[in-house]
Chain A
Amino acid sequence: MLAFIKRHEGLWLFTRSPAVMIAAIVAIAILIGAVFAPWIASVNPYDLASFSLMDGLLPPVWEEFGTEKFLLGTDDQGRDMISSILYGARLSLIIGVSAMIIATTLGVGLGLAAGYFGGRFDALIMRIADIQLALPAILTALLIDGIARGILPPEMQQDLRVVVLTLAIALSLWVNFARTARASTFVQMNKEYVQAAVMQGQHPLRIMFVHILPNILGPLLVIMTVDLASAILLEATLSFLGIGLPADSPSLGTLIRIGMQFLLSGEWWILWIPTLFLIALVVSINVLGDFLRDVFNPRLR
């Protein structure tokens, strides 16, 4: 076992850094909690019948008046904080992961093709990327959201919130992938194994996806991790601004926005517990991303 770990540098470094191990455990725990929220959570925060106003504003169990029924307390509606957070994390992760997958597919596809074909196609993609860069991610996301408000009929807007939000985030993040994929593809294009494949007369799609793609996965994996964190932050920010998800299907960002109302009163837990949870989630993803970057770029160690 030890010999196996020593032979694989990534694994070896992993076992040597406690921070990374803790981050992995936290991230996996949150992931499991989010995926199995409907089975773990004591109440369904979307279902008005499952909680009662009578339980409103109860503090966490270790404070005076806290009860064991609600370990982390309740909000003003009487929702169990743990349940809200698990469901919120679930929604945040669904949006974050889907946005990241869409952005990866779109960005990597375009970046690979731009790097492989070069010339005018490359110039076109890069000019579009330039424009996108002039409008930073949060602005793009806000803009797409604004357009959706203008175009979609009001009755559909509520139902399509999650879809619009996901697309808005995905479209604001694809550029990172496209630029990274393109730059890495350029590097690979000058490698002799690609030249050999071109020379042999292999199909361009095969060269792109079978030869080049596996060789640029390293940097892409790093961007995927970092951008998953960005996507979650972006969703939280949009929801905080009141442009993301509404209060009846709260994500972590919405929970924090609701909690803001209690900033000045004594019910600190309604604000700070979801906040801490969001930070823990994003920090652990970023620690993992940083770790991957070190593994793939040994010079920066």
Chain B
Amino acid sequence: MLRVENLTVKFPSRFGDVTAVEDVSMSIDAGEIHGLVGESGAGKSTVGAAIIGLLQSPGYVSDGTIMLGETDLRSLDRFEAHALRGKRISMIFQDPQTSLNPLMRIEDQLVETILAHEDMSTAAAKTRAVDLLEEMGIEDAAARMQSYPHQFSGGMRQRVVIALALCTNPELIIADEPTTALDVAVQSQVLGLIRRLADVRKVGFMLITHDIGVIAQIADTVTVMRHGKRIESGPTAQVLGHPEAPYTKQLMAAVPPLDHKIDRFKVPEDDSMAAPGKSKGDRAEAWLLGGERQVPIGLTLDNIDVTFPGVRTTIWRKPEPFTALSGISFDVRSGSVMGIVGESGSGKSTLAKTLTGLIKPAGGTMTLGGLVLPGGKARSRHHPSRQLIQMVFQDPFSSLNSRHKIGAILSEPLWLYGLVKDKGERRELCADMLGLVGMAPEAINKYPHQFSGGQRQRIAVARALLARPKILICDEPTSALDVSIQAQLLNLLKDLQSAFGLTVIFISHNLSVVRQMSDDVVVLRNGRIQEQGPSERVYQEPEADYTKRLLELTPTMPSTWIQ
């Protein structure tokens, strides 16, 4: 049905034309779900945009053919192409929160799309819209259709988005990361819906995603891309189960498995920073080991509650406070890794902020060793825990001040806590610490924007270590990274943890990643602990229903696929 041959897409820039997609071919049949997988910069979204004719300016298709049935999409003029969009090809975007016009009722958006392509009465269009929404699993659709987008939850909104994409019976739907913004349970429903539409309505899907688990679960065929080129393609089980290309093998090795714990990911170390005479960080290692590490201390949380003032909507009534965390108690053993796992809104980031003193708990106590940790503003700037607890953040692009050099960023904890008095010594130690996290010491003279996301996370780890912390909190440290970079960073964290006996609190929404990292685990949902215990026990014999469901619904691949 869809046939793409030798597609090449270029973006003119001041450095000359940049080739975003080069010589990519693929075909999709009716009722087929074709996965397009690759890491960021692979050009997978560009392929989708080129097919539907919505390449961001100034990009253009420089070569190749795109045939939809008998229609040559490249030969259409602007108006023909627009008339074809929605009619024969449609698209689903990543974020249902922003994909719908907030000022228009769902009904108007559906009816308008149907009438744009089909010659029928408004009443008939409404009937079709109702039928479609019910088919998507929205109950009482005739009434719900009168609502505005903000009145729907995220999952419901994605169903509306799919209904909008489907309402004119297109042959092909391009779904660009359709479930990335959704929670596990909703993701599983949406994926089920897509599968059903392909089977029943014979719609062809191009499923663009970075999540190999999703591809494994529903794609019939898959194309692996890297740097704008096609690496490998074919039936999913064959390509992912028995990859031939070295890149695909590497990619599969970097995917963290959900069903067992592995020691280390078999991925090549990032060698882009390797330089002759690269420091191994001996000096930094000695300095870290020389601290007061001898006294092992753990962290204890007892019955922590956090509430936020509610949003005031009426004049007279005081708003109900919103409970972000309720009755949180757990112990983090010294030298162990505590995993905290939960979906969005579960309160995991609130927990990290409470531990670090950014948020004041409404009740409960936190103790570090024998030291009581005051909450929020009550924790003074000079409190010892400021040094003892350090954090690695989620977003490598905002966690380092882009206007400061790496050297300045790294030496900040050293002078702030008075750890190293001499300026020259600080510089040497920072340079050496970079070696310890696998980077070239020369990096201290550069600015953050000169590094990739993975390298910046390494710098962030180095900054945390330079405070000589007892506790290292990692809040979603890999969620912004590609899977192969994630594997490298997880390896680094594992190495550092065992070398220095660090106590780590590892927070993530990704069950597989948490399993690889943690000794103990806490499962959070809506601010409450659902289950906690040694991580292997929780993953193998979950007790709470919520944990069971979560483990069941997370898309995984057959364990035989993983090398």
- Is there contact, CB below 8 Å, between B15 and A199? no
The residue of chain A having its C-beta at the shortest distance from the C-beta of B379 within the complex is: A201
Chain A residues within 8 Å of B394, by CB: 192
State the CA gap A214–B394 with chains docked (Å).
Answer: 22
- Is there contact, CB below 8 Å, between B399 and A192? yes
Chain A residues within 8 Å of B399, by CB: 191-193, 196
Which of chain A's residues 190-204 have a Cβ closer than 8 Å to chain B? 191-193, 195-203
> Given A195-B393, A200-B412, A201-B381, are A6 and B403 also a contact pair (CB < 8 Å)?
no
- Is there contact, CB below 8 Å, between A200 and B358? no
The residue of chain A having its C-beta at the shortest distance from the C-beta of B355 within the complex is: A199
For the complex, is B75 an interface residue (Cβ under 8 Å from A)?
no
Among B14, B386, B387, B416, the residue within 8 A (CB) of A12 is: B14
The residue of chain B having its C-beta at the shortest distance from the C-beta of A196 within the complex is: B399
Among B357, B386, B389, B395, the residue within 8 A (CB) of A192 is: B395
* Contact code string A38-58 (vs B, CB < 8 Å = 1, else 0): 000000000000000000000
Chain B residues within 8 Å of A198, by CB: 358
* Contact code string B463-492 (vs A, CB < 8 Å = 1, else 0): 100010000000000000000000000000
For the complex, is A161 an interface residue (Cβ under 8 Å from B)?
no
For the complex, is B563 an interface residue (Cβ under 8 Å from A)?
no
- Is there contact, CB below 8 Å, between A192 and B412? no
Chain A residues within 8 Å of B463, by CB: 196
Count how many chain A residues have C-beta atoms less than 8 Å from C-beta atoms of the other chain: 17
- Is there contact, CB below 8 Å, between A202 and B391? no
Among A191, A196, A214, A215, the residue within 8 A (CB) of B391 is: A196
> Given A6-B15, A192-B393, A192-B395, are A199 and B401 also a contact pair (CB < 8 Å)?
no
The residue of chain B having its C-beta at the shortest distance from the C-beta of A203 within the complex is: B381
- Is there contact, CB below 8 Å, between A199 and B416? no
State the CA gap A89–B416 with chains docked (Å).
Answer: 49
Which of chain A's residues 205-239 have a Cβ closer than 8 Å to chain B? 211, 214-215
The residue of chain A having its C-beta at the shortest distance from the C-beta of B356 within the complex is: A199
Interface band, chain B: 20 to 34
Which of chain B's residues 353-399 have a Cβ closer than 8 Å to chain A? 353, 356-358, 380-383, 386-387, 389, 391, 393-395, 398-399
- Is there contact, CB below 8 Å, between A200 and B413? yes
Question: Shortest beta-carbon distance, B473 to chain A, in Å?
Answer: 9
Most interface-central of A199, A203, A214, A215 (chain B CB within 10 A): A199
Chain A residues within 8 Å of B91, by CB: none
Chain B residues within 8 Å of A199, by CB: 356-358, 386, 389, 391
State the CA gap A203–B381 with chains docked (Å).
Answer: 8
State the CA gap A198–B381 with chains docked (Å).
Answer: 8
Most interface-central of A12, A201, A202, A211 (chain B CB within 10 A): A201
Q: Which secondary structure dominates chain A's binding surface?
A: helix
Question: Shortest beta-carbon distance, B360 to chain A, in Å?
Answer: 13
Chain B residues within 8 Å of A215, by CB: 401-403
Which of chain A's residues 8-41 have a Cβ closer than 8 Å to chain B? 12
- Is there contact, CB below 8 Å, between A200 and B398? no
Chain B residues within 8 Å of A193, by CB: 398-402
- Is there contact, CB below 8 Å, between A201 and B382? yes
- Is there contact, CB below 8 Å, between B393 and A196? yes
Chain B residues within 8 Å of A202, by CB: 381, 412, 416
Among A6, A192, A203, the residue within 8 A (CB) of B398 is: A192
- Is there contact, CB below 8 Å, between B416 and A201? yes
Chain B residues within 8 Å of A200, by CB: 386, 412-413, 416, 467
- Is there contact, CB below 8 Å, between B386 and A201? yes
* Contact code string A233-262 (vs B, CB < 8 Å = 1, else 0): 000000000000000000000000000000
- Is there contact, CB below 8 Å, between A211 and B386? no
> Given A6-B15, A195-B358, A196-B391, are A201 and B402 also a contact pair (CB < 8 Å)?
no
The residue of chain B having its C-beta at the shortest distance from the C-beta of A217 within the complex is: B403
- Is there contact, CB below 8 Å, between A191 and B398? yes
Chain A residues within 8 Å of B416, by CB: 200-202
Most interface-central of A195, A202, A215 (chain B CB within 10 A): A195
Most interface-central of A196, A214, A215 (chain B CB within 10 A): A196
Among A196, A201, A203, A214, the residue within 8 A (CB) of B403 is: A214
Chain B residues within 8 Å of A196, by CB: 391, 393, 399, 463
Chain B residues within 8 Å of A6, by CB: 14-15
Most interface-central of B398, B401, B416 (chain A CB within 10 A): B401
State the CA gap A154–B389 with chains docked (Å).
Answer: 65
The residue of chain B having its C-beta at the shortest distance from the C-beta of A9 within the complex is: B14
Question: Shortest beta-carbon distance, A161 to chain B, in Å?
Answer: 41
Chain A residues within 8 Å of B381, by CB: 201-203
The residue of chain A having its C-beta at the shortest distance from the C-beta of B463 within the complex is: A196
- Is there contact, CB below 8 Å, between B401 and A211? yes
Chain A residues within 8 Å of B404, by CB: 211, 214
Which of chain B's residues 297-356 have a Cβ closer than 8 Å to chain A? 353, 356
State the CA gap A226–B266 with chains docked (Å).
Answer: 56
The residue of chain B having its C-beta at the shortest distance from the C-beta of A212 within the complex is: B401
State the CA gap A197–B357 with chains docked (Å).
Answer: 12
State the CA gap A192–B357 with chains docked (Å).
Answer: 14
Most interface-central of A6, A191, A215 (chain B CB within 10 A): A191
Query: 11 extra interchain contacts, Cβ-Cβ under 8 A, other than A202-B381, A214-B403?
Result: A193-B402, A195-B353, A196-B391, A196-B399, A199-B386, A200-B386, A200-B416, A202-B412, A202-B416, A211-B401, A214-B401
Ranked nearest first, the 4 interchain pairs of A and B with the lowest CB-CB distance are A201-B386, A214-B403, A192-B399, A192-B393
- Using a CB–CB cutoff of 8 Å, the interface residues on chain B facing chain A are 14-15, 353, 356-358, 380-383, 386-387, 389, 391, 393-395, 398-404, 412-413, 416, 463, 467
A-B contact pairs, 12 of them (CB 8 A): A191-B399, A192-B393, A193-B398, A193-B400, A193-B402, A195-B358, A199-B386, A200-B467, A201-B382, A202-B412, A214-B401, A214-B403
